[in-house]
Structure 1
Amino acid sequence: MVKNRCSPLFIFFVLVIIPGLTAAQAKKQSERLRRCESFLGIHFDFHAGDGDREIGKTVTPEMVKAVLDRVKPDYIQIDSKGHRGLTSYPTRVGNQAKGFVKDPLKIFRQVTAENGVALYLHHSGVQDVEAVAKHPEWGIMGANGEIGGVRTGITSVYGAYADGLLIPQLKEMNEYGVDGVWIDGECWAMECDYRPEIVERFRKETGITNIPRAPHDPNGYEFSQFFREGFRKYIAHYVAEIHAAYPDFQIASNWAYSSFMPEEVTLDVDYLSGDITPGNSINSARLESRVLTQQGKAWDLMAWSFSINWNDPGGFQSPKSVVQLQREAGVVLSQGGGFQVYFNQNRDASINIADMDIMAQVAEFCRERQEYTHQAQPIPQIGLILSSDAYYKKLNSLFGANKGELNPLNGILQSLLESQHVVDVVMEHHLKENINRYPLLIYPEWETITPEFKQLLIAYTENGGNLLVIGPAACASFEHELGVELIDTATLNVNYLDSEKRLASVKSISQHVKLAEGVKPFGRVYTNRHGHGSFSPAGSINQLGKGTIAAVYLNLGERYLDGKVTAIRDFLDELVDTLYPNPTVTVEGTGYVDVTLNRMGDRLAVNLVNSSGPHADDLVYVYDEILPLGELTVTVQLEKRPKSVSLEPSKQKTGMTYHEGKLTVTIPRIDVHEILVIEE
């Protein structure tokens, strides 16, 4: 296939793929951004169902053009097949919805091509209810014999579904000349397959004969790993098949290589993407953006344009406000990612044009910040470790922490961000080379660690690094290096934590310790709420070679996540400040701003995102106001006086001084998201 995007031969290729385009229109199509270049998109889907019998009825070129004119996206994504398994375009190779008036995909492709906008399709992968209904042999068998699994419609990655339907449909899409696909219903939909032939395959490959019925049964981890590897091979197969036939077709598997599947990118997917939770979206974006930005692939995150609480029996959708979506965008942009917003298509695949008034304002907000954020690279400060190995061993599903397995890490992350620390989320493979770029690493409440990774962290510390280990289970792996003796067993206790600022009760797993000579205690845990009488160290600090290893002997993350106990935040803040007293950037004036430090060429970018308000409250679906923050003082360590300093995009006047290697900037106000841009 022709790779030169603007060559006459490429234009000829476009004319062949999409008959009816003029040479000018074809040239416009050749100028479409690839996903690795794209910044802003809109996602539409409606998961066609049995009652959809007039698909395409009100879809018009004018409607599509109106969307493009109002928002000016780099790409849009529209529905092609939802989890029900019925396509929303006329298909020759699969199962389509009941009735079509027009082919909406043809119209969307024609108009987007004419306007130089990329078009991607939302297509359900592993989950396909109709395919399993018509081909039961394609579906998994659940532990209790149910075909299609607990979720229903789950296909087997070891079966014939990919070759029988998924790959033929992906090839069929290329006849429309679409740019790529966003495959939904993938890792998060995976379940173990108990079909006899699959179980026998597992036995032969592993030598294990005792088959578990649940993830934490004996051999449960090995059984789960078998299906995780099967999922990787399934993706590798369909990606290789499609890329061989259509090298420029771009593919993402929803949530691959995110916190759902936290591992090194080994598959030839073209970009990474996922949709953050519709509720508590800021905290979802805080984590996922920090995971994806480390993975070395172009990435974006999708915000839902509406809120919904899955635990609400009413199940109603509430459209989010402009400022609500703008803040979600700010969190994602601050990590260097692209951004898209999901809106429902109507049941005939048309678009509610009124929704685009909201999207246009969100798009303007994003475009104002694109120059200062897109594909920026984080500058290492604090590395919070998401251990791939410990995660998979702890998980109660194949992929995705659906039962709170990431709550401890999330709680530590939020506590640190709410003390204005700059935090990356890193995995083992990110630290194999140049681990020393992080002044501080944190191992947060993981219950296991591999010998190889433990030795890497010890060597890092001995060579001058700072390591903080949190939680009794994690500390048990470093008992010798910490210079402590763990007494008795870790149990659930009401711990009265004294952070030297306040005393608070923290009900969590904790353990008493005995410190060796020379090991410094940090903080206290009392047995009563009065703050006197017997106590034990809450933490400790010990020299290890040229570096420092510290510990906290009670779990703090999940407790902070469930209830924002300020004593936990203050305690961790004081401990981190002790271990890493001179960070590159500090912010004073509020506890409600997330701080990110990035580099873009010869410029530093200090992102400041207003995190105040009830965004994490399950009872608050929509808020239409974010109270501004101010005044803030930002201090940045610089070797020499910067060439210029500006606050973007507002261009507010700021007070600035530079003295003895420190730039101090006074910022009057942060509404949602501002970037302090420093040209060195």
Structure 2
Amino acid sequence: MNFRQVHLDFHTSEKIPGIGSRFSKAQFQKALKTGHVNSITVFSKCHHGWAYHPSQANEIHPGLDFDLLGAQIEAAHEIGVKTPVYLSAGFDEKMALRHPEWLVVGKDGGKLVPPDFTSPGYHLFCFNSPYLDYLLAQIEEVVEHYDADGIFLDIVGVRQCHCQYCTRTLLEEGKNPLDDKSVLELGERVYANYTKKVRETIDRIKPGLPVFHNGGHIQRGRRDLAFMDSHLELESLPTGGWGYDHFPLSARYVQQLGMDYLGMTGKFHGTWGEFGGFKHPNALRYEVSLAAANGAKSSIGDQMHPQGEMDMATYQLIGAAYQELQEKEEWLDNVKPVADIALFSCQAYSCFMDKTQQEINPYSDPGAVRMFLEGKYLYDVVDGESNFDHYKIVILPDCERINPALKEKLDAFLQKGGKILASGKSGLYADKDAFAFDFGAEYLRESPYSPCYFRPDFEMEGLFRTAYVLYGQAEMVSLACGASLGRQEVPYFNRTAEHFCSHQHAPDSGEAAGPGMTEGKDGVYIGWEVFSEYARHGALIAKRMVQHALDLLLGEGKTLETSLGAQGVATLMEQEGRFVNHLLYAVPVKRGGGVEVIEDITPVHDVAVRLRLPKTIKRVYLAPQRTEIPFTQKDGAVEFKVEEICCHQMVVLEY
């Protein structure tokens, strides 16, 4: 899979004439060269349903009079650029108007999405309808007649559908079409059948041709869904609603699956379909570097003008990022991450407990990853199938109760010297309110007060010894054979019409309600949903509580320590014969209605790094500059200083 890809959208209304009228092989090639692009996803079929080539299985766009797809493939291949081919699978608005009976139907009878035909937008197709055969014929035609380097199928996933075909299937199977579990189980089978049929269709012509089914997100804990793809493309446009925390969370999960993966961002200020929208080159430089630091290749989204002319400003923008990436590729391929901590993803936990269950808490995973990034902890995001053995800490964030299978897995991890950090109701048995592990405490009940206060028994950088409010549900515990790391205190009263004080909650009464944070033989317990708390409120106390727990449990075993500030990102990858330490720094700021924007890249200087490594290091140098830098190594710890980081700096440690 190539490092420098462009995803070239081309969703074009039939109301627009002159499609491709300004396409030029030379201009297309010039854009790709300017952008340092070595792979570009080009369109066979768009969301409007039209083909961009002569077609027997579909209909060519009424405004197009030549083979645009073939011309793009020929132009790209001539200069050594690969061409995966895109087909809109879930949307086909042309056919939605002709065959509305093929659409996904919601439980209330609405056609999804949007619910009717009075608003602009696309409608979703059911793969349990005759539409599937229609789509497969289009895929077959492209694979047979074009030199595609892969197939990209969009707008797919497991659907809960109540169309006539799904309802009939359930009735024939003797199942209740109004039972949500049965409907979802059918949706799982329908999606699996679709991916199987696609694979069979392609393999009859070009066995092994790469295929990716895009649903906008790789669900943590659903390896079965991921393995239906040949590789993974992590759609994650920071300004398009995903934010800058989504990609590190997604990447640190998929990197363990043994598949090639890339990070997909966009050139847009906002999101897909934004003509005339551009982000600052520094933003793309950072996003591409963030992908590299997490072991991923890159894809940048663009949308071609209906007349087929490539926008050169876009490819100058892309080239600013991809020229740098091209110089770095030597140190980016075939790497594996180094991590101390395993975050047992809350989303993956939901799948582990019940494949059909919705994610219990959507805030816990992002809150945890934000803490790790800011605290410079090396982490992976894991699921119930992951091997925990090589981690030092497993984190159970906020809501993960323990069933027998998880208990057995974590007991084995503890026996090998690992530790657990749990918060909220995590660590309690699934079937009773008692801890499954020794956190030095006994669980009592939920606190009747909201919010409660935490008074730490430890020093915290930037904070002082006092009582700090935490807004989430507090859990009450008593101290058993462990140590208290701080106590819970309650307000004078809950806020009601009869009892209220000032603008928000009542102040701390000073009355102790038992430990708020404890340490036992198996690890540390925190009596609030601190990870969700940090995602929702961003209060420093939540992060400091977790950082103290992690530092306590890691002791001298923390692999990476650095003076790089909170907005920096640090990762460590191992490549054959060397480690590669990635250091990034940029500060997203919120503009407009909350869009995170990177404009300025402020260099940071004299960044100290300390790495505990199992190898004797022979040489340390900056990449791609190849400038050697001085280092010391003593008792397994390598120390060096980076004079300047301007967006992204790699430090290579050869052994």
TM over 0.5: yes
Provide the residue aligned with 1:385 in structure 2: 344
**Counterpart AA for 2:452:** N
Encode CA deviations 1:225-246: one digit per residue, 9 max, x unaligned: 4313321221122112212221
CA contact (8 A) 1:121 1:181 kept: yes
CA distance change for structure 1 residues 550 and 587 in 2, over 3 Å: closer, same or farther? same
Q: CA offset at residue 250 of structure 1?
A: 1.8
Match of 1:647 among 622, 625, 630: 622
Equivalence for 2:488: 525
User: What is the CA-CA distance between 1:170 and the residue it aligns to?
Assistant: 4.1
Residue 566 in 1 paired to residue 529 in 2?
A: no
| Aligned residue type for 1:569 | K
Residue in structure 1 matched with residue 316 of structure 2 by the alignment: 357
1:60 matched residue in structure 2: 24
1:191 aligns with 2:176: no
1:429 aligned residue: 385
Q: Which residue of 1 aligns with 2:197?
A: 237
SS at match of 1:562: helix
What's the secondary structure of 1:676's corresponding residue?
strand
Residues 124-523 of structure 1 mapped to structure 2, 5 A cutoff: 124-148=88-112, 150=114, 153-187=123-157, 190-199=158-167, 201-202=169-170, 209=176, 211-212=178-179, 220-221=180-181, 223-255=183-215, 258-259=218-219, 262-264=222-224, 267-279=227-239, 281-308=243-270, 318-386=277-345, 390-392=349-351, 405-431=361-387, 435-447=388-400, 450-472=403-425, 475-477=428-430, 479-482=435-438, 484-489=441-446, 493-499=450-456, 500=458, 501=460, 502=463, 503-516=467-480, 518-523=481-486
Give, in whole Å, the separation in 2 of the partners of 1:304 and 1:250: 22
How far off is 1:137 after superposition? Answer: 3.5
Distance 1:366 1:94 in 2: 38
Q: 1:278 Cα shift? A: 4.0
- For 2:424, the aligned partner's letter is G
Q: 1:61 to 1:617 in 2, by over 3 A?
A: same
Question: Once the 2 structures are TM-superposed, how far is the Cα of residue 527 of structure 1 from its aligned partner?
Answer: 2.1
Letter in 2 for 1:110: E
Contact 2:202/2:209 (8 A) holds in 1: yes
**CA–CA distance in structure 2, aligned partners of residues 239 and 640 of structure 1:** 44
- The answer to which of 606-615 and 339-348 deviates more is 606-615
* CA 1:318–1:164: 2 relative to 1, 3 Å: closer
CA shift in 2, pair 1:340/1:560, >3 Å: same
**Residue 503 of structure 2 corresponds to which residue in structure 1?**
none
| Paired AA for residue 646 in structure 1 | Y
Q: 2:495 matched to which residue of 1?
A: none
Write the letter of the residue equivalent to 1:230: V
CA distance, structure 2, for counterparts of residue 92 and residue 377 of structure 1: 45
Root mean square deviation of aligned Cα? 3.0
Matched residues in 2 for 1:201 and 1:612: separation? 52
Q: Give unpaired runs (5+ residues) of structure 1.
A: 1-34, 213-219
Query: Any conservation in 2 of the 1:149–1:191 contact (CA below 8 Å)?
Result: no
Q: Normalising by structure 1, what TM-score?
A: 0.84
Aligned to 1:25: none
CA distances 1:42-101 after superposition (whole Å, capped 9, x unpaired): 111121222232211001111111023223322111233232222233322124422114
Query: Which residue of 1 is the match for residue 5 of structure 2?
Result: 41
Aligned-pair distance for 1:531?
Answer: 8.7
Determine if contact 2:89/2:135 at 8 Å carries over to the other structure.
Answer: no
Asked if the contact 1:109–1:177 (Cα under 8 Å) also holds between the matched residues in 2, the reply is yes
Mapped partners of 1:119, 1:176: distance in 2: 10
- Distance in 2 (alpha carbons) for counterparts of 1:144 and 1:436: 47
2:20 alignment partner AA: G
Mapping 1:599-678, distance limit 5 Å:
599-614=574-589, 619-620=594-595, 622-639=597-614, 641-651=616-626, 654-678=629-653
- Cα gap change, 1:291 to 1:167, in 2 (>3 Å): farther
| Structure 2 partner of 1:542 | 520
Judge conservation of contact 1:487–1:512 (CA < 8 Å) in 2.
yes
Q: Deviations over 1:389-443 (max 9, x none)?
A: 64349999999x7xx9532111111112111101111111222xxx211111112
- How far did residue 209 of structure 1 move? 3.4
* Letter paired with 1:456: K
Residue number in structure 1 paired with 2:529:
555
Relative to 1, partners in 2 of residues 1:266 and 1:204: Cα closer, same or farther, differing over 3 Å?
farther
User: In 2, distance between residues paired with 1:150 and 1:136?
Assistant: 13
Note if contact 2:238-2:244 (Cα within 8 Å) is conserved in structure 1.
no
C-alpha contact 2:218 2:250 (8 A) present in aligned 1: yes
Structure 2 distance, partners of 1:605, 1:661, is: 17
Conservation of the 8 A alpha-carbon contact between 2:563 and 2:607:
yes
Measure the CA separation in 2 of the matches of 1:57 and 1:491.
69
- In the aligned structure 2, how far is the partner of 1:87 from the partner of 1:648? 44
> How far is the alpha carbon of 1:309 from its aligned partner?
7.4
Q: Secondary structure at the match of 2:324?
A: helix
Per mean C-alpha deviation after superposition, the further-off stretch among 530-539 and 324-333 is: 530-539
The CA distance in 2 between the partners of 1:244 and 1:173, in whole Å, is 10
Q: What amino acid maps onto 1:169 in structure 2?
A: I
| Equivalent residue letter for 2:548 | E
The SS at the match of 1:119 is: coil
Distance 1:671 1:467 in 2: 36
Residue 118 (structure 1) shift: 0.7
CA distance, structure 2, for counterparts of residue 646 and residue 107 of structure 1: 45
Distance in structure 2 (CA, Å) of the matches to 1:157 and 1:554: 43
Structure 2 CA distance for partners of 1:149 and 1:238, relative to 1, 3 Å: same
Do the aligned partners of residues 234 and 65 (structure 1) sit closer, same or farther apart at CA in structure 2, a change above 3 Å counting? same
- Decide whether the 8 Å contact of 1:475 with 1:553 is kept in 2: no
Give the secondary-structure state (helix, strand or coil) at the position aligned to 1:438: coil
Q: CA deviation at 1:346?
A: 0.3
Task: For 2:176, give the aligned amino acid.
Answer: T
Q: Distance in 2 between matches of 1:481 and 1:575?
A: 16
Question: Quick check: 2:610–2:638 contact (8 Å CA) kept in 1?
Answer: yes
Inter-partner Cα distance in structure 2 for 1:287 and 1:221: 29
The answer on whether the counterparts of 2:40 and 2:81 sit within 8 Å (CA) in structure 1 is yes
Residues 199 and 541 of structure 1: CA distance in aligned 2, closer, same or farther (over 3 Å): farther
The answer on whether the counterparts of 1:55 and 1:88 sit within 8 Å (CA) in structure 2 is no
Equivalent position to 2:71, from 80, 104, 107? 107
Query: How far apart are residue 520 of structure 1 and its match?
Result: 2.1
Q: Which stretch shifts more, 145-154 or 269-278?
A: 145-154
Separation in structure 2 between the aligned mates of residue 586 and residue 281 of structure 1, nearest angstrom: 26
Distance between the aligned counterparts of 1:623 and 1:380, measured in 2?
28
Query: Contact 1:224–1:398 (CA<8 Å) still a contact in 2?
Result: no
> Does the 8 Å contact 1:308/1:621 carry over to 2?
no
Relative to structure 2, which stretch is displaced further, 483-492 or 571-580? 483-492
* Pairwise CA distance, 1:102: 3.0
